[in-house]
Amino acid sequence: MKPPPFDYHAPVSVAEAVEVLAEAGAHGKVLAGGQSLIPMLNMRLAAPAHLVDINRVAGLGEISAGPDGVRVGALARHSQVERSPDACGTLPLLRQALKLVAHPVIRNRGTVVGSLVHADPSAELPAVLALLGGSVRLASRGGEREVAAADFFTGPLESATRPGELAVSAFFPAWPGGTAFVEVARRHGDFAMAGVAAAVRLDDDLRVAEARVACISVGPAPVVVDLTAACGNRPVASMDWRAVVSAVQERIEPEADIHATAEYRRHLTGVLVERAVRAAADA
Amino acid sequence: MHDITLVVNGVPREVRVPARRLLSDCLRHDLGLTGTHVGCEHGVCGACTVLLDGEPIRSCLTFAVTVSGREITTVEGLGADGPSPVQRAFAECHGLQCGFCTPGFLCTTTAFLRDNPAPTDEEVLEGISGNLCRCTGYQNIIKSVHRAAELLAEESS
Amino acid sequence: MTTKLFGEPVRRREDARLIAGQGRYLDDLGQHALAAAFVRSPHAHARITGINVDAALEVDGLVAIYTWEDLPPGVAEPLPLLIPHPALTHGRTAYPLARDIVRHVGEPIVMVVAVDRYVAEDVCDLIEVSYEFLKPVVGVEAAVSGAHLVHEDVPDNIGAHLVQEVAAKDGRSAAEAIAAAPHTLSFRLDIERSACMPLEGKGVYARWDADDQSLRVYSSTQTSTSVRMALAAKLGIPLPKVEVIAPDVGGGFGVKIVHPWPEEVLVPWAARLLNRELKWTEDRREHFISSAHERAQVQHVKVGFDDEGRVLGLSVEILHDHGAYTPYGIIVPIITSTQLLGPYKIGAYRVEFSSVYTNTVQVTPYRGAGRPQGVFCMERTMDKIAAFLGKDRTDVRAANFIQPDEFPYDQGMIFQDGRPLIYDSGDYPESLRKLKELIGWDEFPALQEVARAEGRRIGIGIGCYVEGTGVGPYEGGHVQITSDGRVHVSTGLTSQGQGHETVFAQIAATELGVPIERVSVVTGDTRRFGYAVGTFASRAAVMSGNAIALACRKVREKALRVAADALEADPRDLEITDGMVHVVGSPSAAIPLATVAVLSNPLRYAFDEEAKRATQFAGSADMNRPPVAEGEEPGLEGKDYYSPIRSTFASGMHAAIVETDPDTAEIRILRYAVVHDCGKMINPMLVEGQIHGGVAQGVGGALYEKMAYDDHGQLLNASFMDFLMPYATEIPRIETDHLETPSPLNPLGIKGAGEAGVIPVASVIAGAIENAEGFPIDRMPISPSELHELRVRPA
């Protein structure tokens, strides 16, 4: 289990990085935290001819929080975001989700933007970005473009990032209500068999004014469902949970694997939707 | 090939490596520091955990070239004169059996207790949750972490 | 024996180097050796039609490529079938490199030697093997249908078939006893595959010394002596020219007792051929697909019992999946069949097993070695009887216990060592009493009621086992006291983290009356001790512990004789305390063991001050006797062997309380309690450590770990991402209590402790989940998804 050979590039600026990536085209791969990429290299499941290590690129480590939301640079590690009072103050969902990402040591190295680009349908951060309607900023030789989450996650381990593009940051919009992230994994820290991120806004009478969930491990990409209608503008205590759950269950497409049947994932997602919405409403 | 410098346990070490050289292999085979162990090479077991500028990371999921110029602490560097309090606690509490996973636990615990000197049971569990041990059943490892916290507190008082 | 260390929680002497990163594991050695890697079959069953290495030859750093065709006689033969048995009528083992046919994913086909492992893997990637596909056989039931064959010449894929039957006292067979019983039950049980999964994989490092024509091999093995003999035979090298050393080994749990592995033969062979140091370090993927697994069985059970729950007749049919090859014989199903009986005396017993080939990784012992399956069968049976009769589960067990005054108790069967299954000692009612107290068995129903009222589901389970430990044939110990007063102990069996250096030093220090700091222990190094069997079956402490004690007693006796001469005293009046031989009650008339060692070796040459005292003109010798008396040997050393008439039987009982989530079906262990009896404990701290580790592996086997093969024979979870070994977050705190019922079979009164922890866990957890959920749990491990399925299936 040793990585195959590759040409190594260590650009120090975004301009230089996108130049190298443009040259490499489809044979280029970006290395940021490497916590998903390097296992694949060690198992020789991936063999890019060019590896573009962006760890020396200046200016990509920033985490900036404002009233609109949080922008996370491509080199911001999970643990840095998790410990950032500004980022998590603006958006508690970031910390709620990051605590569920693998284990602390992996979070020390893995990056938030890397996780988004990796686009694992079982991963937490794509669900957060999708739930909040965030976006990813992609740089290339031709300039920059901002891709909305809805367009970014195109399939399992597939994102809208094109050859020659570098994801330089992601933007997570603020949410004016409560949030929660609940999941069930086989072991603590494993990819979840099912998980639900919820964002709920209550009106002044504590009725649900707006509710959304994003579900993981039950489709090719995070499945976002707007539950505002299903919640029927009721208080949480008198919600028709059956309606809420079935609104989600009819949207998801779980598949079986060695850890769980499709039916169990569907059931579990239902359980977690209720738990997540309740927790988000309480938050 | 790349000429890199790693500051390992306080000592700058120059080494020539191919880009694909994993940090774990570089430490073990290029620098002869075999205390860092390799148990899975896909980042799950934690035996290869070392400190990068003080933060625990998986050396099997890091290329040596990426961390050129940075400070690495391995199990060999945890104790200054003799074993550190964390190392002593593991021996005292029978926190190891075959010893293969131990260097990873020691590095992880060292950083964990620096950031959280008086952890609860639950925090200890979370702190060591990314390291596999096949021998001890973890109970004595958890005990060791608490004991290390005590020893560190005694030392600093 | 005033230096009392036996029985004390002495801190481990191994730890100083291991916590400092100064251990020496296999891959830490031979930093300049060449590296080996293997092309392994990606298919479960196929005929090799061609191997093309053309592209690979261009790789810079390549040293050699070998296929089966390149192997000389001896090396080219199939690997040995280590434990033949008359019932194993169709034993088959693999070639070190596949010849014509591959029978599981991971079987080695081509060996590559290169400057380092990176390059060796590059070469492997460029070697093209072409295949003609054969039908894979996966799962025991598919196997015995005989539709497709793993080995063309093994009908119905049945490698072995064995029936053992013990009639009831009245002469009735099991079938008759069951038919005549007031109540009967029959059911099916399933246990899935798991594996030892030590954190260090296997590895071999070989150095050929062309000048000396000798071979030194380091292997991460559980038996260096036997690897040595196998290598000498396979490579045609005289035995004295081969040395095998087990360095620090990062866990074994059974998988490393199998030998010689293909790589264990090929690496030394190629090292000699190339006259270069060569090393192979197994990576995790290789360990998953090319070492060994265990556990998988299907059991069909019929039981007849009376109103008290006493078993009158028990009949068990076992389908045992042994994978593609049988290098370790049928030890696992034999142990299942015999140890199934546990602490119980049952009326009549019939057990029949078929050990079956499938196109999967071979099955060889993993900690517990067939016992977890046997205990699962018996303990599920006990729970089912209790449920049927509406009785407390512990009452049904107690009704069947062998009583303390019934030892030695003959179960009437033949055990894995080929000897009668006779339990030496034990106290099962007392164990049960302690366990019920520890877990709060009698108070649990009230707790369960309270929980139920809160909408929570909790359940309690129990499991009992008896473990034959310390199997023969023998182990030896060598003890030498040198003229510096140091005590050098060696034994041939190997260590994988058990703490042998500590417990054997405790024994030696206690027997010899010396400070433990002066004792050093070496295991698994054939340069120091050539005769041994190996470390398995919870035997090291029993076998080598007793051998070392016996060797120490010989040395002690000699030391007293030599000292008696010097002190002009009667040896019967002497004792050794703190390394000094002295007259009992008169500490001033004393002589250090160091001096005794000098005196024991008459010298011509004085190489240091101490040695002067033993030279010919020192004036101390009796001129009327030869310098070395008849029947004596120079030096203060002794060697002895311990060879028991049969195994000694440890026992224990576990109980657990679990909670199952009514919605998500997650399963959490709230409490786990163990009562354990391994006879006299040498070091209770280490015994507890063994129990903790065993229970953790048991929890893995109950709730997390399973080798998932698809119908094509592909292992779907050959990584730590998907083969779910528990982290700290998955393991409960383990509460322990001990009983010490000494074994009458050995001088130290000890029994083995290594495997105990793992044995009953799956049955305990199954019982607890059953108690929480109210429906039977007959298949382990169980995941939340599977529990959910059981909940929603139509009744």
Same domain, B92 and B73: no
Whether residue C12 and residue B34 make contact (CB cut-off 8 A), yes or no, is no
Mean pLDDT of C337-348: 96
Give the type of residue at C130.
Answer: S
Same domain, A161 and A184: no
What one-character DSSP code corresponds to residue C704? I
CB atoms within 10 A of CB C712: 15
Domain coverage including residue A256: 178-282
* Pairing outcome for strands C487-491 and B11-17: unpaired
Please give the Cα distance from A55 to C279 (Å, whole number).
34
How many domains does chain C divide into? 3
- Which chain C positions have a beta carbon within 8 Å of A39's beta carbon? 721
- Which chain B positions have a beta carbon within 8 Å of C23's beta carbon? 35, 99-100
Which domain-ending residue is among B50, B77, B104? B77
Closest CB to A43 among C285, C663, C788: C285
> Nearest residue on chain B to C689, judged by CA atoms?
B136
Please give the Cα distance from B46 to B37 (Å, whole number).
9
Residue C371 pLDDT exceeds 50: yes
Whether residue A2 and residue B20 make contact (CB cut-off 8 A), yes or no, is yes
> Nearest residue on chain C to B79, judged by CA atoms?
C20
Mean pLDDT of A22-31: 96
Is residue A250 domain-resident?
A: yes
The three-point CA angle A75-A77-A80 to 5° equals 120
Same domain, C455 and C573: no
Beta bridge partners of A65: A70
Measured between CB atoms, does B63 come within 8 Å of chain C?
no
- Residue C433, min C-alpha distance to chain A (Å): 34
Same domain, C354 and C373: yes
Contacting subunits of C (3+ beta carbon pairs below 8 A): A, B
Is residue A2 domain-resident?
A: no
Q: How far apart are the first and last CA of chain C?
A: 66
Closest CB to B136 among C249, C283, C692: C692
- Stretch 122-151 of chain C: residues touching chain A, C-beta under 8 Å: 122, 125
Mean pLDDT of A218-227: 97
Give the type of residue at C187.
Answer: F
- Which chain A positions have a beta carbon within 8 Å of B108's beta carbon? 105
Residue C768 pLDDT exceeds 80: yes
Whether residue B134 and residue C697 make contact (CB cut-off 8 A), yes or no, is yes
Please give the Cα distance from C118 to C129 (Å, whole number).
20
Tens digit of pLDDT for each residue in C562-608?
999 889 899 999 999 999 999 998 878 899 999 999 999 988 888 88
CATH code at position C363: 3.30.365.10
The C-alpha R_g of chain B, in whole angstroms, comes to: 15
Which domain-ending residue is among A173, A197, A219? A173
**Confidence tier at C612 by pLDDT (50, 70, 90):** confident
User: SS3 for C737?
Assistant: strand
Same domain, C99 and C224: yes
pTM: 0.97
CB atoms within 10 A of CB C469: 27
**Closest to C359 in 3D by CA, of C109, C42, C95:** C42
Is residue A134 domain-resident?
A: yes
CB atoms within 10 A of CB C275: 10
Q: What's the pLDDT at C409?
A: 96
Measured between CB atoms, does B28 come within 8 Å of chain A?
no
State the count of interchain CB pairs (< 8 A) between B and C. 169
Same domain, A244 and A198: yes
Which domain-ending residue is among C290, C324, C350? C290
Give the type of residue at A106.
Answer: I
Residue C580 has which token pair?
Answer: 């000094």
- Stretch 25-54 of chain B: residues touching chain C, C-beta under 8 Å: 28-29, 32-42, 44-45, 47
Same domain, B117 and B62: no
> Nearest residue on chain A to B25, judged by CA atoms?
A2
Is residue C153 domain-resident?
A: no
Q: What percent of chain C has pLDDT over 90?
A: 93
Domain coverage including residue B114: 85-156
Beta bridge partners of A226: A212
Please give the Cα distance from B128 to B132 (Å, whole number).
9
Same domain, A162 and A108: yes
Please give the Cα distance from B100 to A189 (Å, whole number).
22
Mean pLDDT of C225-245: 97
Same domain, C384 and C531: no
Measured between CB atoms, does A259 come within 8 Å of chain C?
yes
Same domain, B112 and B62: no
Contacts of C589 (CB under 8 A, 6+ apart): C567, C569, C582, C583
Please spell the DSSP secondary structure of B29-94, one letter per residue.
IIS--TTS--S-SSSSS-TTEEEETTEEEEGGGSBGGGGTTSEEE-GGGS-SSS--HHHHHHHHTT
- Which chain C positions have a beta carbon within 8 Å of B92's beta carbon? 11
**Confidence tier at A268 by pLDDT (50, 70, 90):** very high
Residue C283 pLDDT exceeds 70: yes
Residue C78 pLDDT exceeds 90: yes
Whether residue A4 and residue C125 make contact (CB cut-off 8 A), yes or no, is yes
Residues C487 and C520 sit within 8 Å (Cβ to Cβ): yes
- Round the average pLDDT of chain C to a whole number and report it: 96
ipTM: 0.98
Residues C424 and C471 sit within 8 Å (Cβ to Cβ): no
What one-character DSSP code corresponds to residue C660? E
Please give the Cα distance from C341 to C411 (Å, whole number).
8
CATH code at position B18: 3.10.20.30
Same domain, B25 and B89: no
Q: What's the pLDDT at C625?
A: 83
Same domain, C675 and C627: no
Measured between CB atoms, does B108 come within 8 Å of chain A?
yes
Residues C461 and C648 sit within 8 Å (Cβ to Cβ): no
- Which chain B positions have a beta carbon within 8 Å of C27's beta carbon? 28, 34, 38
Which domain-ending residue is among C613, C642, C671? C642
Is residue C285 domain-resident?
A: yes
Same domain, C104 and C191: no
- Stretch 117-156 of chain B: residues touching chain A, C-beta under 8 Å: 126-127, 129-131
Same domain, B72 and B7: yes
Angle, helices A241-249 vs A262-282, to 10°: value is 130
- Which chain A positions have a beta carbon within 8 Å of C706's beta carbon? 258
Please spell the DSSP secondary structure of A78-105, one letter per residue.
HHHHHT-HHHHHH-HHHHHHHTTSS-HH
Please give the Cα distance from C718 to C195 (Å, whole number).
11
Closest CB to A260 among C708, C726, C785: C785
Same domain, A137 and A194: no
Alpha-helix residue ranges (DSSP H) falling in C301-370: 331-339
Helices (H) and strands (E) in chain C, counts: 18, 29
Measured between CB atoms, does A104 come within 8 Å of chain C?
no
| Alpha carbons within 13 A on the beta-carbon side of B101 | 31
Whether residue A5 and residue B63 make contact (CB cut-off 8 A), yes or no, is no
Whether residue C729 and residue A263 make contact (CB cut-off 8 A), yes or no, is no
**Closest to C160 in 3D by CA, of C258, C79, C104, C91:** C91
Task: For chain A, give percent helix, strand, coil, nearest 5.
Answer: 35, 30, 35
Which domain-ending residue is among A125, A145, A173? A173
CATH code at position C213: 3.90.1170.50
> Nearest residue on chain A to B50, judged by CA atoms?
A105
How many domains does chain A divide into? 3
How many domains does chain B divide into? 2
State the count of interchain CB pairs (< 8 A) between A and C. 69
Same domain, A234 and A162: no
Same domain, B73 and B104: no
- Residue C729, min C-alpha distance to chain A (Å): 6
Tens digit of pLDDT for each residue in C15-61?
999 999 999 999 999 999 999 999 999 999 999 999 999 999 999 99
Element (H, E) at A194: strand A192-202
Residues C713 and C136 sit within 8 Å (Cβ to Cβ): yes
Mean pLDDT of C159-182: 96
Whether residue C728 and residue B79 make contact (CB cut-off 8 A), yes or no, is no
Residues of A with CB under 8 A from a CB of B: 1-8, 10, 31, 34-35, 38-39, 41-43, 51, 53, 55, 79, 102-106, 108-109, 188-189
Instruction: Work out the burial of residue C619: count CB atoms within 10 Å of its CB; fewer than 13 is exposed, 13-18 middle, 19 or more buried.
Output: exposed
**Confidence tier at A283 by pLDDT (50, 70, 90):** confident
Residues A134 and A90 sit within 8 Å (Cβ to Cβ): no
Tens digit of pLDDT for each residue in C90-134?
999 999 999 999 999 999 999 999 999 999 999 999 999 999 999
Measured between CB atoms, does C720 come within 8 Å of chain A?
no
Contacting subunits of B (3+ beta carbon pairs below 8 A): A, C
Is residue A33 domain-resident?
A: yes
Which residue bears the tokens 């120090």?
Answer: A12
Please give the Cα distance from A152 to A164 (Å, whole number).
16
Residue C1 pLDDT exceeds 50: no
Instruction: Work out the burial of residue C345: count CB atoms within 10 Å of its CB; fewer than 13 is exposed, 13-18 middle, 19 or more buried.
Output: middle
Which residue bears the tokens 């063994």?
Answer: C690
Is residue C120 domain-resident?
A: yes
User: SS3 for C499?
Assistant: coil
**Confidence tier at C620 by pLDDT (50, 70, 90):** low
Is residue A37 domain-resident?
A: yes
Is residue A102 domain-resident?
A: yes
Contacts of A182 (CB under 8 A, 6+ apart): A195, A196, A272, A275, A276, A279
Same domain, C52 and C87: yes
Mean pLDDT of A132-158: 97
Instruction: Work out the burial of residue C52: count CB atoms within 10 Å of its CB; fewer than 13 is exposed, 13-18 middle, 19 or more buried.
Output: exposed
Which domain-ending residue is among B77, B111, B131? B77
Please give the Cα distance from C788 to C362 (Å, whole number).
32
Measured between CB atoms, does A205 come within 8 Å of chain C?
no
Is residue C729 domain-resident?
A: yes
Please give the Cα distance from C597 to C584 (Å, whole number).
20
* Pairing outcome for strands A158-159 and A166-173: unpaired
CB atoms within 10 A of CB A256: 12
Same domain, B58 and B25: yes
Q: What's the sign of the alpha-carbon dihedral C301, C304, C308, C311?
A: negative
- Residue A139, min C-alpha distance to chain C (Å): 33
Beta bridge partners of C464: C653
- Which chain B positions have a beta carbon within 8 Å of A188's beta carbon? 129
Same domain, C496 and C609: yes
> Nearest residue on chain A to B19, judged by CA atoms?
A8
Whether residue C789 and residue A264 make contact (CB cut-off 8 A), yes or no, is yes
Residues C434 and C739 sit within 8 Å (Cβ to Cβ): yes
Angle, helices C761-773 vs C684-699, to 10°: value is 50
Contacting subunits of A (3+ beta carbon pairs below 8 A): B, C
Domain coverage including residue C613: 473-642
At residue A166, φ and ψ (nearest 5 deg) are -120, 125
- Residue A190, min C-alpha distance to chain C (Å): 8
- Which chain B positions have a beta carbon within 8 Å of C122's beta carbon? none
Which domain-ending residue is among B77, B103, B138? B77
Same domain, C786 and C661: yes
Q: What's the pLDDT at A72?
A: 98
User: SS3 for C210?
Assistant: coil
Q: What percent of chain A has pLDDT over 70?
A: 100
Residue B81 has which token pair?
Answer: 């004169």
Least confident of A193-202, C392-401, C747-756: C747-756
Same domain, C670 and C780: yes
Which domain-ending residue is among A173, A208, A226? A173
Residues of chain B predicted below pLDDT 70: none
Measured between CB atoms, does B23 come within 8 Å of chain A?
no
At residue C308, φ and ψ (nearest 5 deg) are -85, -5
Same domain, C631 and C727: no
Same domain, B93 and B144: yes
Whether residue A260 and residue C724 make contact (CB cut-off 8 A), yes or no, is no
Q: How far is CA C472 from CA A213, C529, C745, C752, in A?
A: 63, 17, 12, 12
CATH code at position B148: 1.10.150.120
Please give the Cα distance from C636 to C480 (Å, whole number).
6
Which residue bears the tokens 């005989």?
Answer: C146
Is residue A264 domain-resident?
A: yes
Measured between CB atoms, does B81 come within 8 Å of chain C?
no
Q: What's the pLDDT at A54?
A: 98
Whether residue C125 and residue A260 make contact (CB cut-off 8 A), yes or no, is no
> What is the maximum alpha-carbon separation in chain C?
96
Q: How far is CA C369 from CA A224, C188, C330, C332, C339, in A?
A: 49, 21, 11, 5, 10
Same domain, C542 and C560: yes
Please give the Cα distance from C237 to C232 (Å, whole number).
5
Is residue C141 domain-resident?
A: no
- Residue A27, min C-alpha distance to chain C (Å): 19
